[in-house]
Amino acid sequence: VILNGEPALFFFFLQAGDELKICLKDEVPSEKIVPVPLPIHIIYEDEDLLIIDKQADTPIHPSIGNYENTLANGIAWYYESQGIPFVFRCINRLDRDTTGLLILAKNMLSGAILSQQMKNREIHRTYLALVEGCLPPSGTIDTSIGRVGDSVIERCVDPEHGEPAITHYQRLAYYPGSSFQGSSSDPAVLSHGISLAELHLETGRTHQIRVHMKSIGHPLF
């Protein structure tokens, strides 16, 4: 904490015209995230946050069976190569096979602010998905989601024991099965066609879009 160029303590009084600087520094990088030279796609970066375009088949952070092949490993390498300590503060989440934008906070202050904005639903996410069949023009799915048995990953609609989940959808386009003749051998595509859907989530349950769209008879491909 610096007041007019000199170290200051919390009980120092401020006067009009004073310049107060508060620097939050990460001295030690995140433990158990091994820096690995993996490709990362940076969309935007400043002193407070980093926006990454996550590719499909990319886990976000280390977990069982994925210790050195995650986005976090690649970002740790990116900062280590610059001599900058890296603490992993991921504000939103995406499933391994989902592409999209990830927000990472670069310091404690931006982490606190962005996390609070996410909690207050001030950060809005839009998803695009291809689903089977002719989706209704728009609608809302309000059905709880829970684990399938003892599975760590698989989820299903579970009104009794699941957690609340709300998905809003809108059909942007519909392509009938006849338009895929000769280009697809998938019976579902040829029979029911494909809809392009725009989705907005009020909650962020694991596999929420996949489970909800399947529950109304329009599963994802």
Residues noted as catalytic: 95
Phi, psi of 78 (to 5 degrees): -55, -45
Would the CA dihedral through 103, 169, 219, 121 be positive or negative?
Answer: positive
CA–CA–CA angle 205, 210, 211 (5° rounding): 70
CB 69 within 8 A of CB 78: no
For every residue of 131-150, DSSP letters joined together read EES---SEEEEE--EEESTT
| The pair of three-digit structure tokens given for residue 101, joined into one six-digit string | 């934008």
Count CB atoms within 10 A of the CB of residue 155. 20
CA–CA–CA angle 110, 103, 54 (5° rounding): 160
Please tell me the distance from the alpha carbon of residue 100 to that of residue 127, in angstroms, as a whole number.
8
| The pair of three-digit structure tokens given for residue 161, joined into one six-digit string | 């024991």
Would the CA dihedral through 62, 66, 72, 74 be positive or negative?
Answer: positive
